[in-house]
Structure 1
């Protein structure tokens, strides 16, 4: 093999469709998927019927039928209806809705379209796939959009039958890291996580974070580091345990709030006369509601302590706190939970 004779954008030199496809493949790092998280969603008809609809949007589609085939770019303008065959009384069926490239100029393919008059991009329904299918069959130049899990004796496709399986060609990422120290003991400002039946801010400080407009998911790592368990003085029994839960929340305007699931802590007295330092970690993943995308939010760390204990944790001047957020653009964020 040798370097291609085709020379893109060189005056007087040869050029071809393949060099354009290879350039697109190089520019997209051989990725395959939809362009934006809202692109090419498969939804029921406005009045559910025997078809589904694909919304507007584009996709980068890596050639899979020949070596050095390159990549294609397709864009759907407006909603497109895609017919779905009904199921019979003998049982249900799973179908895969895909956007496929049918390029007859690729040797060995079965396509016979006249590219001077016909498109090479088509929405297709592959019937009878495995009910766990999430990708196009091997050797298919296409992107998977949705799986339809259709009950027996059904002609009308509703939203509950549609599983979104789209992947992003180039998903966006944004990391936001926030850190702080605790407050000092010398002037009484130390911050206790003590005896609350509901969550309180701990430590008592908020950051401001703006959720990107494209973010559909956020991954969270939070650390309450080197916090103080004070010496119990009176004893070391179970009543002196510091027990409770922590979580992280993003609090926006208009009542828009998302909180992580809570994680528990349980620290025990090792000596009646000595306190010690301890740490708590949390990891979580949350979907970002549409209403909160682009919204400026307060980022808060919370704790609540079991009310039947007589010991607690302290965010003193030696304690450290951090929340690490990664906002992610996922076409089907629920599929990664």
Structure 2
């Protein structure tokens, strides 16, 4: 029988008085989280200005996973919790140029192999903090990870934010751009929803884009079958902060066969009914048909990545494909017909916010 050190094999969890080391627990966390690191949730450990703007910032409560970068600890992950807001002082900028500081969460483990951190006094070992919010001052304006900073390549740390400290100042306020959020969710969730309508099966006749109402409140739902209950009703996850979506209209008919003349309009996604107080509309995209004699088919598509406002999360909402006619030869506007199809592809994402 060999010892753990002799065999080079660790385990979790064996009874009968078997010894389990801190490394064993960190290896368990690493395996269970697939080596991911970052904050636990979308609002965890966010860097914010002080309640009264001053020479510092605060880091709100939350949890994090921090992958070990100590020698021999590459398959280990630390877990950290901040259960009380931490105020972090930011040094005044006494130069005539803006300065950039990183706010990080760092594990300073003096017991890890190769660690250079000093061990605390014997009487302090049990209650020593070991995990700290630190500031790395004077980094590049484009730095996004503490490991990009010379001298910190092997820090067992995650980056929370980057602070722009204006020239000759030290006060950090709510001005856009002063604090750049650099957090990443350690194990972000995602969910893809695809809905499709085959208009052959729906028995659709020729239905043209005719509504000239202006974006965002005007326009028409197209195809009209998208108005039907259930077809495009989608549950928005409570955890979702962003969504990437694509709407595609395929095999659209452009005519009449003897027609010619340019025609153009808009297309966008609307989430929720127009009368809903929390209705949301995506950015306007455009469709445009060049002058061309004779009937033909075409495809239209709109895509975007958008922030999901909190009031929409956790709700079931109908996703409306909206279009309008903006100008040109209206007789040549595209139509859905028995040969057309429609699909909506939405991926919900969990991103720090």
* TM norm. shorter chain > 0.5: yes
CA RMSD of aligned residues (A): 2.2
Paired with 2:209 and 2:119, the residues of 1 have a C-alpha distance of 70
Against the structure 1 CA distance between its residues 152 and 226, is the aligned structure 2 distance closer, same or farther, given a 3 Å change threshold?
Answer: same
Against the structure 1 CA distance between its residues 109 and 193, is the aligned structure 2 distance closer, same or farther, given a 3 Å change threshold?
Answer: same
Q: What's 1:162 paired with?
A: 179
TM-score, normalised on structure 2? 0.86
Paired with 1:3 and 1:258, the residues of 2 have a C-alpha distance of 60
2:28 to 23, 33, 41: 23
CA deviations on 1:273-299 (whole Å, 9 max, x unpaired) are xx2221112221101112221122220
Against the structure 1 CA distance between its residues 185 and 68, is the aligned structure 2 distance closer, same or farther, given a 3 Å change threshold?
Answer: closer
3-state SS of 1:307 partner: strand
1:261 to partner: Cα distance: 2.1
Bigger mean CA deviation after superposition, 68-77 or 124-133? 68-77
Q: What's 1:335 paired with?
A: none
Paired with 1:13 and 1:248, the residues of 2 have a C-alpha distance of 59
1:121 to partner: Cα distance: 0.4
8 Å CA contact 1:192, 1:315 repeated in 2: yes
2:319 to 299, 303, 311: 299
CA deviations on 1:69-119 (whole Å, 9 max, x unpaired) are 410000111311111111114322100000000000123322114242311
8 Å CA contact 1:183, 1:315 repeated in 2: no
Instruction: Give structure 1 stretches of 5+ with no counterpart.
Output: 333-337
1:171 to partner: Cα distance: 0.2
Paired with 1:93 and 1:116, the residues of 2 have a C-alpha distance of 38
3-state SS of 2:142 partner: coil
3-state SS of 2:271 partner: strand
Q: What's 1:285 paired with?
A: 305
1:262 to 284, 287, 291: 284
Q: What's 1:225 paired with?
A: 250
CA deviations on 1:236-292 (whole Å, 9 max, x unpaired) are 3xxx234222111212675223322232222345444xx222111222110111222
Instruction: Give structure 2 stretches of 5+ with no counterpart.
Output: 148-152
CA deviations on 1:10-67 (whole Å, 9 max, x unpaired) are 1132311101111111111111100111110111111112221111110000001222
TM-score, normalised on structure 1? 0.89
Paired with 1:230 and 1:308, the residues of 2 have a C-alpha distance of 14
1:319 to 324, 334, 340: 340
CA deviations on 1:197-222 (whole Å, 9 max, x unpaired) are 42321112232112111111000111
Paired with 1:31 and 1:182, the residues of 2 have a C-alpha distance of 44
Q: What's 1:8 paired with?
A: 12
8 Å CA contact 2:252, 2:298 repeated in 1: yes
3-state SS of 2:26 partner: helix
Against the structure 1 CA distance between its residues 326 and 201, is the aligned structure 2 distance closer, same or farther, given a 3 Å change threshold?
Answer: same
8 Å CA contact 2:262, 2:328 repeated in 1: no
Q: What's 1:56 paired with?
A: 61
Paired with 1:13 and 1:308, the residues of 2 have a C-alpha distance of 80
1:88 to 94, 103, 109: 94
8 Å CA contact 2:102, 2:139 repeated in 1: yes
1:131 to 125, 138, 141: 141
Q: What's 1:117 paired with?
A: 127
3-state SS of 2:12 partner: coil
8 Å CA contact 1:39, 1:58 repeated in 2: yes
Q: What's 2:160 paired with?
A: 145
